[in-house]
């Protein structure tokens, strides 16, 4: 059974989303970190996490924001009412691997406190209005995670 969620733009088919993520990951690797489609020109990274329940390695293509050498990712799940699985994976196993372009490095995921979360989210929303829309379509506070390079 496929879980569908209405995020304000319509239903999200998560099986289709997983297939799309696989295609993005393949394109990212084939083109040295560049992708076409809705993520063309976006700051995109691949995040490898360890599953909170399964313990299996998972790869997630995510938009990131960078400021003064710091990297931030946003648990939007396209404005869905729940956080994405990768967020729970980081809570359970904060040691991750990050891939940007052709560079791959270990990092630690650190969830930001509310004040800094709000600041970083506002900066990302100013760059990409879709992030402001995600915040409007959900009742939860969208977590922001800093990826601290080791």
**What is the residue-wise DSSP string for 80-117?**
-SS--HHHHHHHH--EEEEEETTEEEEEEEEEPPHHHH
Q: What pLDDT score was predicted for residue 21?
A: 87
In the block, residue with structure tokens 């690797």: 29
Q: Give me the pLDDT at residue 3, please.
A: 45
C-beta neighbour count of 98 within 10 angstroms: 22
What does the pLDDT look like over 98-122, one tens digit per residue? 999 999 999 999 999 999 999 999 9
- Please report the pLDDT score of residue 41 as a whole number: 86
The pLDDT assigned to 12 comes to 56
Q: Distance (Å, rounded) from C-alpha 21 to C-alpha 15?
A: 10
Domains of the chain in sequence order = 4-149 (2.30.110.10)
83: Cα within 13 Å, side-chain hemisphere: 17
| pLDDT given for residue 14 in this prediction | 59
Residue 98 near residue 105 (C-beta atoms within 8 A): yes
Predicted pLDDT at 20: 86
pTM: 0.88
Q: Mean pLDDT for each 10-residue chunk of the chain (150 residues)? A: 42 70 92 88 95 96 97 96 96 98 98 98 96 95 98
Model confidence pLDDT, tens digit, residues 40-55: 888 999 999 999 999 9
């Amino acid at each position: 059974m496929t879980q569908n969620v209405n995020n304000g733009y319509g239903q999200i088919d998560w099986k289709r989303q997983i297939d799309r993520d696989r295609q993005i990951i393949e394109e990212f690797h084939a083109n040295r970190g560049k992708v076409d489609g809705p993520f063309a020109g976006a700051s995109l990274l691949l995040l490898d996490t360890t599953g909170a329940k399964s313990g299996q390695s998972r790869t997630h293509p995510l938009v990131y924001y960078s400021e003064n050498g710091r990297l931030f990712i946003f648990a939007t799940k396209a404005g869905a009412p729940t956080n994405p699985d990768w967020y729970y994976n980081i809570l359970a196993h904060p040691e991750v691997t990050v891939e940007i372009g052709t560079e791959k490095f270990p990092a630690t995921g650190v969830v930001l406190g509310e004040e800094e979360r709000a600041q970083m989210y506002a900066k990302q929303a100013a760059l990409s209005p879709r992030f402001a829309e995600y915040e409007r379509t959900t009742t939860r506070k969208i977590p922001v995670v800093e990826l601290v390079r080791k």
